[in-house]
Structure 1
Amino acid sequence: MTESNETTGLRVLMVDDDSNLLNGYQRALRGRCEVHVALGGEVGLAMLEDEGPFSVVVSDIKMPVMSGIEFLGRVRELHPDTVRMVLTGHADLDVAIEAVNNGDIFRFLTKPCDREHLLAAITAADKQHGMIMASRELAAMRRLKEGFEGTLLAFARLVEFRDPYTAGHMDRVARIAELIAERMGMDPDRVEGLRLAGLVHDVGKIAVPAGILNKPGILSDAEFSLIKAHPLVGEEVFRTLETEWPIARIIVEHHERIDGSGYPHGLTADELLEESKILSVADVIDAVMSHRPYRQKLGGQSAIDVLKEGRGTRFDPAVAAVGIAMLSSGEIEEKVLS
């Protein structure tokens, strides 16, 4: 039997062996929540299976056939997210301890329980249920994120197997970009998306012949054209990726420059994401300070000189300024390159 309510999504199951009490609960809670009642534990379990889940279950203890302790223990096994409460006239300590141990009870109420106390307890139980569900969602999101990041790292490792000179490059660029974005006060969620994009920003190099990636001399125009296509390949790889972050766009824009001199589309400042501007600076910093087939690695001052020279033309002035400051203080070398 159900007493519906149009103003709230809170669904409560009241279980007792006294039909008069159950009718009284429905009257007391009318208009405040959706109340379902069950005459005994076996009926309660059947209702949970047929009409559940419920946010809150409230049960008596002393009931024939199936005791409230047994019933709440079954609810705990079958519906662990449902908040369980006891409302009983048999409130001795041993019963309370057994109920808590077997049913993981949120509240223990005694009869008679006036409407306001019952409603306050159910409201508190609903808040507890909300916190449980939020925790479940957070844990699920964390597992999805960890799996997603693992997939991105697998892509990165594929590229690095073919291009040993860039081993660790994407990891370092992701970390440098993260540090710059944090220093600039970017929203943490956007920082996370930028970091993930950084982990795979060169994944498009998987389509570039290894001989070109590892060539120690100067590249021909044709060879450089293949290199310049890697942001487009990376974008294509992640174009259909369902994510809250614009990872594909950041990848394709990381070699663009604010004056339009970059590639592959020659975009200018107003057309670029802030994340892309940050990643381009981070990419240059690591490129200058890492070993390449055609030269030995250079120091922090060389990276500073590159950023100063390109500040306001190739690189966003604000991003370049932060990169220069962090290089000058040694923070990037200490936290990333050491």
Structure 2
Amino acid sequence: MSKILIIDDEVMITSTLSTLIQMMLDYEVIISNDPKALIESGILENETIDLVISDFIMPHMNGLELLSLIKEKQPNIVPILLTGYSDKESAIKSINDLGLYYYLEKPWDNNELIKVVENGIEKSKLESELKHKLIIIEKKNNEISRLYDLLRRDYDKEIDNVLEFVISLSNLVEAKDAYTENHTRRVADLAIALGRRAGLNKEQLRNVELGAIIHDIGKVSTPEHILNKPGRLTFEEFEVMKGHPEAGANIIRPISALKNTADIVLSHHEKLDGSGYPHGLSSDEINVETRIVTIADIFDALYTDRPYRVGMPLEQAMSILKEDASSGKLDHNIIVYLEDMIKTGELADIYHD
């Protein structure tokens, strides 16, 4: 049952209001004829009151002062002020200052008073329900945040496990192909540096790193005599070699944690002009992560030793890349990022290590 507090120094007024409210609304009513006695009584500390009706002119303190003290003790209470005509201006000013819900002029209209009290109680209930719901929402949000943190830790741990697995896959290729020793790690380091310059986000950089490490995983299906042939491959041998991107993608696709790297593995030999393999993709069909890994892979192949030749000088390797960019095979912007790495010494750091 809702509780209403009525304060007026005139006993007849508190008695009349109490009888009216209890008869019309069936609320519990507490009355007081002395503001000072009310403050000292402990009622405000021991009772939860939904609505208070206070007279304006009373001994010891006026209604605004009393309501201000009551609001300090019970912030959720709905305050209503009874005023005479001469007090009307002060009551209006207090609406904003005190958060006054309503003011009623003496003599009041019973129907109006009952309606105001009824609406005030409804307001109190709605505010209470809203605060309760907000508390529940806050608790749920805290729980969601806690679960998110747990999932985030599990995800990070899973990613670390995936990276270890990817490195193991890469080691399989390196064990079979003498040329690929440290190739994948260099390509990954170079691709990450290029990706940062290209403005890739954290997830894209992670895909670039994983994709670069496993881009040649399909070579586990390529015969060793082709992988380690000391001279140039024949047409037939090169056709066999060209199967490694699809073989690699087929290995990667069933692994959910690596699904975002499958395009890199499948398309790292594609060219922007459609002259690459295995599907002759072109332009926007090749995402930026794949373009970056492609250029990192080609640069490392040109710049480092291979079974049938020693690595090219830096100037010659860059000349070939620029020519391919000019002819529309490679992304020109990424070549510019690579040139910037040369100027800053970052490329030398990767290959020195």
- Please state which band the TM-score falls in when normalised by the shorter chain: 0.5 to 0.7
Is the partner of 2:233 in helix, strand or coil? coil
The corresponding residue for 2:329 is 314
Distance of 2:309 and 2:232 partners within structure 1: 11
Distance 1:133 1:246, change over 3 A: closer
Deviation digits for residues 44-102 of structure 1, max 9, x if unmatched? xxxxxxxxxxxxxxxxxxxxxxxxxxxxxxxxxxxxxxxxxxxxxxxxxxxxxxxxxxx
The corresponding residue for 2:159 is 145
Is the partner of 2:218 in helix, strand or coil? helix
Is the partner of 1:185 in helix, strand or coil? coil
Q: 1:211 aligns with which of 216, 225, 229?
A: 225
User: What RMSD in Å do the two structures reach over aligned CA positions?
Assistant: 2.3
AA at the equivalent of 2:312:
L
Contact 1:178 / 1:195 at 8 angstroms: preserved in 2? yes
**2:184 aligned with 1:170:** yes
The corresponding residue for 1:71 is none
Contact 1:176 / 1:336 at 8 angstroms: preserved in 2? no
AA at the equivalent of 2:330:
F
Deviation at 1:152, TM superposition (A): 1.2
Q: 2:168 aligns with which of 134, 140, 154?
A: 154
Distance 1:224 1:279, change over 3 A: same
Q: Which one has a larger percent helix, Structure 1 or Structure 2? A: 2
Deviation at 1:126, TM superposition (A): 5.2
Percent of pairs with identical residues = 30
Distance 1:174 1:117, change over 3 A: same
Distance 1:182 1:204, change over 3 A: same
Is the partner of 2:309 in helix, strand or coil? coil
Runs of at least 5 residues in structure 2 that lack an aligned partner in the other structure = 1-127
AA at the equivalent of 2:261:
I
Deviation at 1:336, TM superposition (A): 4.7
The corresponding residue for 1:252 is 266
**2:302 aligned with 1:288:** yes
Contact 1:300 / 1:327 at 8 angstroms: preserved in 2? no
Deviation at 1:163, TM superposition (A): 0.8
The corresponding residue for 2:75 is none
The corresponding residue for 1:242 is 256
Distance 1:245 1:178, change over 3 A: farther
Q: What is the aligned length?
A: 225
Distance of 1:214 and 1:158 partners within structure 2: 15
Distance of 1:116 and 1:316 partners within structure 2: 57
Mapping of residues 71-110 of structure 1, within 5 Å: none
Contact 2:186 / 2:350 at 8 angstroms: preserved in 1? no
Distance of 1:322 and 1:161 partners within structure 2: 32
Distance of 1:198 and 1:259 partners within structure 2: 22
Distance of 2:274 and 2:236 partners within structure 1: 21
AA at the equivalent of 2:166:
L
Distance 1:142 1:219, change over 3 A: same
TM-score, structure 2 as length reference: 0.59
Distance of 2:197 and 2:158 partners within structure 1: 27
Distance 1:322 1:119, change over 3 A: same
AA at the equivalent of 1:132:
R
Contact 1:254 / 1:279 at 8 angstroms: preserved in 2? yes
Contact 1:193 / 1:245 at 8 angstroms: preserved in 2? no
Deviation digits for residues 282-318 of structure 1, max 9, x if unmatched? 1011111211001112232222112111114210111
Distance 1:116 1:250, change over 3 A: closer
Mapping of residues 162-201 of structure 1, within 5 Å: 162-201=176-215
Q: 2:289 aligns with which of 250, 275, 278?
A: 275
Is the radius of gyration larger for structure 1 or structure 2? 2
Is the partner of 1:277 in helix, strand or coil? helix
TM-score, structure 1 as length reference: 0.61
Contact 2:253 / 2:259 at 8 angstroms: preserved in 1? no
AA at the equivalent of 2:263:
R
The corresponding residue for 1:333 is 348
Contact 1:197 / 1:251 at 8 angstroms: preserved in 2? yes
**Stretches of 4+ aligned residues off by more than 3 angstroms:** 114-131
Runs of at least 5 residues in structure 1 that lack an aligned partner in the other structure = 1-113
